[in-house]
A and B are shown apart, each in its own frame.
Chain A
Amino acid sequence: MNARAVPVWDLWPGGIEWQPMSPKLRTVWVLRSLLNVLILAVAAAVPLTIWLGWDGLLWALGGYVLLAGLRALAVSRTVRTWGYAEREQDLLVRHGLLTRRLSIVPYGRIQLIDLSAGPIERMFGLTTVQVRTAALGSNTEVPGLDPLVAAALRDRLAVRAAEVREGL
């Protein structure tokens, strides 16, 4: 059982040096999940109040605290699983707590590199790098990077993509 608990990416032959995401990413994602649960709690509070009177509000609040706590715990553990690595020929991105995903994008196949930042991300000064290839389903994200790190990564990827361009 113990051997099977090892994440799939740690079995990669040769070992990889994973770059961690910005430590602020955890704060951002926990905040975001708290907001999402809050919306849910508000939506649930209305019928609960009609049904139980003012006790309903208390129930909604209690439910919110419980759910938000669990969610925050899960999210903060998930953030730790994110990581990326630049190898000689390809970019590796790993993530996922329950379902684990390891994406490998060769530099030569990169078609498009996007930088994006949502409102909460911007408040904390974080940027997401998105890498696309010609395969429509494969949209690889590297979230939660410092803007300068993200821009540097984007430039490095672009240079490498132009150097080793491969076709479809």
Chain B
Amino acid sequence: MSTDEPAPPLAPAPYGPAPYAPSAPPEGMQRQRLHPLTPLLESVRFLTAAAAAVGIQMFTSRNFLFAVYAAVAAAVVGGIASLIALQFRGFVIWGRELHIYGGVFTRSHRTVPLDRLQSVDLARPLRARVFGLAQLNIEVAGGDGTDARLAYLKHDRALELRAELLSIAGRPGAAPKLERAEESAAEAPAAPLVPPVTVRKLAVASLLEALPVQLTALLVFGTAFAVTGSIFGFTKVATALWFGFFAPALLGYLQSTVATVNRFLRNCRFRITRDGGNLLIERGLTDTSHETVPVDRVTAVSFDEPILWRRKDWRRVEVWTAAVAQQSTSVVKSTTALPVGGPAEVALVAAEAVPELPAAFAVERPPSRARWRMPLRWKRTGAMLDEKVFVVRHGWWVNTYVAVPYARIQSVRVVQGRLQRMQGLATVHAMTAGGLGHTAKAAHRDVGEAVAMAAELRRRADAAAALEAPRLS
């Protein structure tokens, strides 16, 4: 009963590499400027709102001179503000670090250690594209979730800078090849891994994917409307009340529809190429984006098959990396490596993402006594220890295979719920780096099999990790 228990003694010496200590470039160092249109583009939403307000004012008061005054005032004030803002913004490449400066009232100075660079992605939102500009999103291993951003730069300048950053980071072969690929990409595209997905195929695929959701939603809303209508009558008041009552659900439905359309637009003109150790992905109709996926950091590959794609034998391939997971911990994201494709294309992309990864797996179903727990999904659930990857399959609405290379498994867990205990079942979790969505779950295996599977997973993970060179990030 001693409250003053001495703290446990410290270990004799700290383990691991020396902590990273940032330095500052000298004061007089010439900063590189961002494009002069940057402040304008960043306040584009505000400007649109202001323009709309002025427009309304103009039409209601019939005073057209007001618009001219407003435009002149906006030009003068905006121009001066932009000039001031631009003085404080910029970036410096100093040694193996990138320093980004920003802010007028609250100054910010951000140091990006290029040694720990994960990827540099080129993004072109619509408003920047209009002026031929682009922005660079920079991801660093072990980042705090907010990624560094350089916006906006001229498109070719952004490409140059990206190559420069990658070459400083020491990605072998990244810089020269990248430049060549980008230069040729402007006119004649370098050979993509898979033939480009036609707009028609993508549209059909999106439609088929969204159709069940849409039909169900419309059916539910229709029945709800009919039922309330038959009870209260189809008066104006009742209808208005109905819409008020169902507004959240309707909003959610609208949102999901917009998301589907957005995804379709994002995946248009999809191109994936292999460049050294990276997969380069370019896509987008209105907003083009370039993404870089380092192949040696792929933690899992998943193959999605929405319910209506089954007859066509189409799949979508998603690639998961730890870098993507670090971007935001709440929303787990992956990179689409193929929006839609037949078996041959899927196999090609899969083999590029993880060497020698097959695209078809003969997974083993859970024992039939687990069937009543998932009557629809049971047939489409399973797990398998492949030669190099751990594969699990799950889902009825969207059936998914998740393949995790053994070398990427962080920890293994066997969980047995109370119902499972009565049935002699258990679930095996194999976790990879990143958020909760990065867990491969083999549900409802026989207890003995589950434990043996966990032991085998651990053995194979060690064997696979031993073959790789250790790295810290």
Chain A residues packing against B (C-beta within 8 Å): 3-5, 8-9, 11-14, 89-90, 96, 98-106, 108-109, 115, 122-125, 127, 133-138, 140, 147-148, 150-151, 154-155, 158-159, 161-162, 165-168
Contact = CB atoms under 8 A, between A and B. Distances in A.
Contacts of B455: 12-14
A138 B415 CA distance: 13
Contacts of B418: 98-99
Interface string B405-422: 001101111111110011
Nearest to B428: A102
Contacts of A158: 11, 15
Interface residues of B, number: 56
B472 A147 contact: no
Nearest to B470: A165
24 contacts: A3-B424, A4-B423, A8-B416, A14-B455, A89-B462, A98-B418, A98-B421, A101-B413, A102-B413, A106-B461, A106-B465, A108-B465, A122-B3, A125-B2, A134-B433, A134-B434, A135-B432, A135-B434, A137-B436, A137-B439, A138-B411, A138-B413, A147-B5, A167-B471
A109 B411 contact: yes
A140 B451 contact: no
Contacts of A134: 322, 410, 433-434
Contacts of B432: 135, 168
B9 A135 contact: no
Contacts of A89: 458, 462
A102 B454 contact: yes
B411 A105 contact: yes
B15 A106 contact: no
A44 B5 CA distance: 37
Contacts of A166: 407, 465, 468, 470
A133 B15 contact: no
A3 B422 CA distance: 10
B472 A165 contact: yes
B440 to A, nearest CB: 11
Contacts of B410: 106, 109, 133-135, 138, 168
Contacts, number: 146
B9 A162 contact: no
B288 interface: no
B117 interface: no
- In terms of DSSP, what is the predominant structure of the interface of chain A? mixed
Contact of B408 (A13, A103, A104, A168): A168
B458 A100 contact: no
Contacts of B435: 136-137
A143 B468 CA distance: 34
B214 interface: no
Contact of B411 (A99, A140, A167): A140
A44 B455 CA distance: 48
B454 A104 contact: yes
B289 interface: no
A135 B439 contact: yes
A151 B9 contact: yes
A99 B416 contact: yes
A155 B11 contact: yes
Given A11-B448, A102-B413, A138 B431 contact: yes
| Residue picked from B15, B423, B435, B470, most chain A C-beta under 10 Å | B15
A151 B368 CA distance: 47
B8 A13 contact: no
B426 interface: yes
B450 interface: yes
Nearest to A152: B8
Interface in B1-34: 1-3, 5-9, 11, 15-16
Contact of B434 (A102, A109, A136, A151): A136
Given A103-B412, A165-B470, 6 more contacts: A96-B416, A104-B411, A104-B458, A106-B458, A134-B434, A135-B411
Interface in B146-201: none
Interface string B434-457: 111011000000011011101100
Contacts of A3: 424
